[in-house]
Structure 1
Amino acid sequence: MFHGLTYPGIRCIIENLDLSKRILLASRAPAIQRVDKSIPFHVKSVHINENYFFLNNISVVYIPRTRELLFEDTHKEICRQVEPHLEKKKILEKMFNYYLGGRKNIYLDHVLLDCPMSELSLPPNLKLTINKMETRFCDFRDFLPIINARSFPLKEFTARDNKSIFLDHPVVHSAEKLVFHTNAVNMAGIFHDINKLPNKNILIKFDSSDVIAILNVIGNWLNGRKEVGTKYIFSSRFKTNIDEVLAELQLLAEHFKVSGTPYFRIPIDAQSSIQINGIEVNEDGVFVSQLVTEVVSTKKSLEGSK
């Protein structure tokens, strides 16, 4: 005789259900709705902006010109007119509350925040447990109150900006990997700040050519300020940006080129060297050029050259 599912059984099913199906089920089944927000909410990625909200493959976009909300997932697309008396901030507050409000345990692999905190009306007492945090043209410190302390240290911290970013913070220092994006024409100040960080694994994505800024980073390493294992990757969509640095290195450090290899190995002291080489990698179907700079032990350098 079938007696129905117990709460632990319902919880197990809902927690592991596809996100869009879970939200749809909760919206149509009052019994599920009553327990849904007490059940852990697992999300691969969330993107929050003052005009839109992406939750895995679900997107909700506010269109100011027509005062409409566009809902879309893998199954359908719906456009709804917003009540004329509602302000945009109130509309988005309702949207964020519907998806995130009242949930006790929200687990995100990646959260992307690309507008100032002051532009958002996030649910009260919102706490996100995350692995990776990304900010675009805003201050990550403003969002720390909504990040669960159990999230730290982060697996990855990413920041995109065209000006210097505040980096002297434990959240940045403790992250396993740092990623920085910049389109700044003069990158010297940004690179100088990055170079002061204690982190060993940093990816720097840039589009402007600034050979001197990159060479200054390498020059700083020659003062012995970086530990063995420190690795910076300078990445650009434009191959010429990397080729220009390699050409300058060929002029300045030709005698440190390892014969028969693409590597430069520049000694720091008796124990370590800077190893530099250019590569191309495929990023989401697009080839990008990279300059890989790494502090290696002299023993490793010698063994690698045999």
Structure 2
Amino acid sequence: MPTALGYPGLRCVLEFLDPMKRIHIAARNHSLWTIDKTIPIWIEELEIYREFLKLDKYSTEISFDIRFSNRQNAKFHQVLPEQLNQGEAITKLLNSYLGGRSKIYVNFLSIYGMYSPVLPPNFIIRINELGCCFSYINRFLANIDPCSFPLKKLRTGIDEPDHLNHPILTSAEEVIFTCGANGIQKLIDQNNGNKRVTFEDYRYNSANPVVLIRHWMKNGIEIGATLKLHNNNDNDRLLHILLQELKEFENKRFNSSLNCPRLIIPINRTAEIHVIVSSKNSIVVEVVPKSLKRRGEATEEPSSSKKAKQ
């Protein structure tokens, strides 16, 4: 007869088990249930809305009833108790799944909507990436472990330019703006430290990217800094303005191959700005190290001229 796993063995198995399978198994085994919440749980994606909860590939939708489903299209229904509204039901469900756990690790947490449920106070998670509407971030900020900051990625919509002052936004390595107030000029004025910024389906003043590029030229910026602009309606117009305003930096060797820059703008001896029209029809402004080939060309010319003088 096989020997039962001791606590160290159970801990290793439970910690890296599929989260929903783990919750399901522990709820039906008293010995596991007593230790389950003391063991860290790892979740790739957690989405929380007023009427919807998604934990990795498992989702729960609440309307007049409770509907459970997974990516294999297995679906289950349960009657919603009359005394519960949708937000309260999601909060109770979330608390039963994750409340009271010692450590919850989530790669990507997504919370949207003014009426998103209030998270249980004992629900503390450590995250890498966050998706939210910035106006309501204070509703759940206390539930995020401070060790999560700075975030690797923040995907958000903003309603006020002042939101750009928030330390959570300014410290994030990558920020994706989905909608909201015109923020490019504000980012320029405040010299925000975000390494990568994307404006997605976002209306902006077409002159702002030119101002940003000139700001980077004058003040410098670290290699890897990237600005992506997704707006199919304005891309052609924006590219025309960039080529017109910065025509002295147009790439003479431009071809239609993928990621070939339309503009190459020097910053200093080690870095330059590339302006690229990507395959997704977005405009990418990126700071890259000067290529070895270009440095070689720069050093060859003086040496050849010296030989000519001799």
Aligned to 2:163: 166
Give per-residue Cα distances to partners, 1:7-46, cap 9 Å, x unaligned.
1111111112122221221232232222221111100010
The equivalent of 1:205 in structure 2 is 200
Q: Which amino acid aligns with 1:158?
A: R
Residues 76-225 of structure 1 mapped to structure 2, 5 A cutoff: 76-116=74-114, 119-136=116-133, 138-161=135-158, 164=161, 166-182=163-179, 189-195=182-188, 196=190, 197-208=192-203, 210-222=205-217, 224-225=218-219
Query: Which residue pairs with 1:235 in the alignment?
Result: 229
Which protein is bigger by CA-based radius of gyration?
A: 2
Partners of 1:32 and 1:129 lie apart in 2 by 23
Deviation, 1:47, is 0.7
Unaligned runs of 5+ residues in structure 2 are 255-260, 299-310
Q: Deviations over 1:249-292 (max 9, x none)?
A: 22222222131133323456x668762422324xxxxxx22222
Q: Distance in 1 between matches of 2:140 and 2:59?
A: 21
* 2:305 alignment counterpart: none
| RMSD (CA atoms) | 2.9
Change beyond 3 A, Cα 1:84–1:291: same
Contact 1:233 1:293 in 2 (8 A): yes
- Kindly provide the amino acid, as one letter, of the partner of residue 227 in structure 2: I
After superposition, the C-alpha distances for 1:155-179 in whole angstroms (9 at most, x for unaligned) are: 2222124653612233233322222
Instruction: Give the letter aligned to residue 258 of structure 1.
Output: N
Contact kept? 1:267, 1:274, Cα under 8 Å: yes
Q: Is the 8 A contact 2:262 2:277 kept in 1?
A: no
Aligned residues: 289
Identity of aligned residues (%): 25
Are the equivalent residues in 2 in contact too, given 1:165–1:190 (CA < 8 A)? no
CA deviations on 1:178-217 (whole Å, 9 max, x unpaired) are 22222x5xx6x32122332122322222344742333333
Q: Which runs of 5+ in 1 are unaligned?
A: 282-287
Asked whether the equivalents of residues 43 and 105 of structure 2 are also in contact (C-alpha less than 8 Å), the reply is: yes
1:300 offset after TM fit, Å?
Answer: 7.7
Following TM superposition, by how much is the alpha carbon of 1:57 offset from its aligned partner in structure 2, in angstroms?
0.6
Distance 1:85 1:272, change over 3 A: same
Q: Give the residue type in structure 1 aligned to 2:53.
A: F
Structure with greater strand percent: 1
Q: Secondary structure at the match of 2:5?
A: coil
CA 1:291/1:74 → structure 2, altered by over 3 Å: closer, same or farther? closer
